[in-house]
Chain A
Amino acid sequence: MLTTRTLFIDHAIAGHPRTAEIERGISYQKRELTSGERHPGGGILLTRNRGGFVKPCPGMKGAVCCGLWVVEWGMGCPFQCEYCVLQVYQTSGDLTLYVNWEDCLEEVSRLRQQVRGPIRLCTGEFGDSLALEPDFPLNTLLARHTAGFAEFTLELKSKSVCIESLLTLPETRHLIVSFSLNAPRIMTHLEHGTASLEQRLTAARALAERGIRLAFHFDPIVALPGWETEYQETVAAMHRTLPAQADIAWISLGTFRFPRFFPDRALETFPGSILFQEEFHPSFDGKLRYFRPLREQLYRHLSRLLNDAFPGVRTYLCMESEDVWERVTGKRRHSGDLRCLLDQAVPCGQVTSA
């Protein structure tokens, strides 16, 4: 059950049947009626999404972009990851949840009708996909709704192990459940409230045994002293835990990056954070990133580990420049190339419900 100090309810959805349903799953001290989508701060806001639910992933200028579509189901996360940029947009712990899911489903159907070719849709851009699933089961609904969509993949990205509702889905060929992974020390000390490495991998194994496809995201890769050995431990744990028949759609790699004034906000919340000990420089999109040769070293090391453990698996760099792609992989890749690479993992199928 979600716990909060104040539950804010937007007048616009106060009478919506789903509001009462979601409200029953939230334990709160105070309930306040409010107006609009702006979070008053200090609690959970149930509101109506007055804009669009489905958006193209906001790839930055200069980056090789994977062409993902994202669902804006709300914003916020019950976890407190020290590196998470959501801190800039919303006070840590605050959640905004949209309850007009019918509009979301309609938009997803419309997306399938209007966009030609493979579609990869993800719900993990504005918060953890599955952490809220027991009380806010939009992802399970989306998975049911999109089952049978042609050339369509729904990716649920998480650091939680709330997978129970997915295990009973009748159709999962279009589903990819992805887990964010990191070096053990990062997961323990910087990802507050999340499931441990073992728990995530055990959940991944359960999904794989059920025939559900997996993906993994090493993002952000954090270069703390000893990173080579630490990431090796994680990859070894993956290899040890995942069943041989696990179908891994892709593994992404992205190094820690942030907008210029992110450290102010992060250090306000986590004053002793060890995140900013390395050397950072302005990069191709204006964000601060590790020194480019260090990034290449990180990518090469992880790519090698992953290729040794999972030969032939699709790995890609997230939000990196064409230059870095070329220096790491030996091939110059454009956004179109990356889209094609990932689209190959999207199953074909017949439209039954779009």
Chain B
Amino acid sequence: MIDRSQLVMLIPPEAVPPGSELADSLARWGNAAPLLIHGRQIVDGIKRWSVFSPEQRATVPLIETSLASPFLARFLANASREWNIIETALLLQHLSESERQALAVSRRIALAPNLLNVFAYLSSLPSCWARVIDSALPVSVWRDLGALGNRLGEAVELMLTLSGTVAEKRMLAGLLRQAHLRHLLPSALASRDLSVLLTELQQLVSPRRDDVKKRYDEAIADTDLPPNTELTVDPVFEKPGVTVKLHLRRQELARLERLRQSLDHLFARIPEL
């Protein structure tokens, strides 16, 4: 007979916050699914257990896993749903090498050393879990940060405190990684806003690209393009040339000559195009 008051959770409930919908749903519809346990540990059903009423805790059916590893049992029981990054990191710490590989395949992540670095770091800092989970940053961002070595903590803090979109933070992580690789990372990263930091890092890691972009912008400003002309260039100038969009009416065909002259001028000023 299991003493339910002695049950403990396999991973801290902070790693799998239940959200308000779960409590509402349990209050309204009750609980039908059993909890999966391993000895005194709740393997699966941690979210539910943390929001159960005393009565629900007393009556919820329990099933004991036959697997030796409770962590493997949790992985298998939850293989088909989305996981947050903290949950993934915590589980990875306790799986054997072959189980880790299986988890990596199931989560569609490559267990690169950088990712393992950042997982180990995040697992050791419960105080930031809620913010990490709330940020919903993709694995690619964390993997980039994992390359930052002794600047990792600073970068994680930055990522969690700066306000910006996920796309901006993805760009920031990539730039931080590149700057670190090239030993260009500024000695202090904080006290800037995201757009300023992005601009600064961009200039640090891609001076060649920025030089061409600056000259291109200046040339465009000096160019007498016909009205309603849109010019676009490859943002990293990998593809030479410009894409031109121009809407013309029958009586405006003379603008084509003006466009040609403008492009001549642009190509002459920017040989990289």
Contact in complex: A279, B206 (CB < 8 Å): yes
Q: Does A294 contact B (CB under 8 A)?
A: yes
Q: Tell me, rounded to whole Å, the shortest Cβ–Cβ distance linking B61 to chain A.
A: 43
Residues of A within 8 A of B13 (CB): none
Question: Min CB distance, A326 to chain B, in Å?
Answer: 9
Q: Are A281 and B181 in contact (CB under 8 A)?
A: no
Residues of B within 8 A of A294 (CB): 208
Contact of B182 among A276, A281, A282 (CB under 8 A): A276
Structural contact, A277 and B182, CB atoms closer than 8 A: yes
Q: How far is the CA of A277 from the CA of B236 in the complex (A)?
A: 18
Q: Give Cα A282–Cα B174 distance, bound, in whole angstroms.
A: 12
A268 within 8 Å of B (CB atoms): yes
A residues whose Cβ falls under 8 Å from a Cβ of B: 261, 263-265, 267-268, 276-284, 289, 291-294, 323, 327
How many interface residues does chain B have, given as a range?
A: 20 to 34
For B114, the chain A residues whose CB sits under 8 A away are 264
B 236-265 binary contact with A (CB < 8 Å = 1; else 0): 111111000000000000000000000000
Distance (Å) between the CB of A305 and the closest chain B CB? 21
Looking at A282, A283, A292, which has the most chain B CB atoms within 10 Å of its CB? A292
In the assembled complex, the Cα of A282 lies from the Cα of B183 at a distance in Å of 20
The distance in angstroms between the C-alpha atoms of A278 and B237, with both chains bound, is 16
A282 touches which one: B110, B181, B236 (CB < 8 A)?
A: B236
Q: In the complex, which residue of chain A has the Cβ closest to the Cβ of B206?
A: A279
Task: Tell me the smallest distance from the CB of A35 to a CB of chain B, in Å.
Answer: 16
27 intermolecular pairs with C-beta atoms under 8 Å apart: A261-B110, A261-B112, A263-B181, A264-B112, A264-B114, A264-B147, A265-B112, A265-B113, A267-B147, A267-B181, A268-B113, A276-B182, A281-B206, A281-B238, A282-B238, A283-B238, A289-B238, A291-B208, A291-B237, A292-B236, A292-B238, A292-B240, A292-B272, A293-B237, A323-B240, A323-B241, A327-B240
CA A265 to CA B147, docked complex, whole Å = 11
Interface string of B125-154 (1 = CB under 8 A from A): 000000000000000000100010000000
Q: Indicate whether B46 reaches chain A with its CB closer than 8 angstroms.
A: no
Report which B residues bind A (CB closer than 8 A): 110, 112-114, 143, 147, 178, 181-183, 205-209, 212, 236-241, 272
Known contacts A265-B112, A276-B182, then 20 further A-B pairs from the complex at CB < 8 Å, ordered by chain A residue: A263-B181, A264-B114, A264-B147, A265-B113, A268-B113, A277-B183, A279-B207, A279-B209, A280-B178, A281-B209, A282-B238, A283-B238, A289-B238, A291-B206, A292-B236, A292-B238, A293-B272, A294-B208, A323-B240, A323-B241
* A residues in contact with B241, CB < 8 Å: 323
Which residues does chain A contribute within 8 Å of B112, judged by CB atoms? 261, 264-265
CA distance A267 to B206 in the complex (A): 21
Which chain A positions have C-beta within 8 A of B182? 276-278
> Which residues of chain B come closer than 8 Å to A280, judged between CB atoms?
178
CA–CA, A324 to B208, complex, Å? 17
Across-interface contacts of B178 in A (CB, < 8 A): 280
- Shortest beta-carbon distance from B207 to chain A in Å: 7
Report yes or no: B239 in contact with A323, Cβ–Cβ below 8 A.
Answer: yes
Determine how close the nearest CB of chain B comes to the CB of A228; give it in whole angstroms.
Answer: 16
Pair A293/B205 contact, Cβ less than 8 Å = no
- Once the chains are docked, how many angstroms separate the CA of A85 from the CA of B180? 21
Residues of B with C-beta under 8 A to A277: 182-183
Chain B residues contacting A265 (CB-CB under 8 Å) are 112-113
B250 CB → nearest A CB, Å: 34
Give complex CA distance A281, B208 in Å: 11
A98 to B176, CA, bound (A): 43
Q: Are A281 and B236 in contact (CB under 8 A)?
A: yes
Measured between C-beta atoms, what is the minimum distance from B263 to chain A in Å? 17
CA distance A139 to B110 in the complex (A): 36
Report the nearest A residue to B272, measured CB to CB: A293
B residues near A278, Cβ cutoff 8 Å:
182
Q: How far is the CA of A136 from the CA of B29 in the complex (A)?
A: 71
Select from chain B the residue with minimum beta-carbon distance to A323: B240
Tell whether A293 pairs with B212 under 8 Å between CB atoms, given A264-B147, A281-B206, A281-B236. Answer: yes
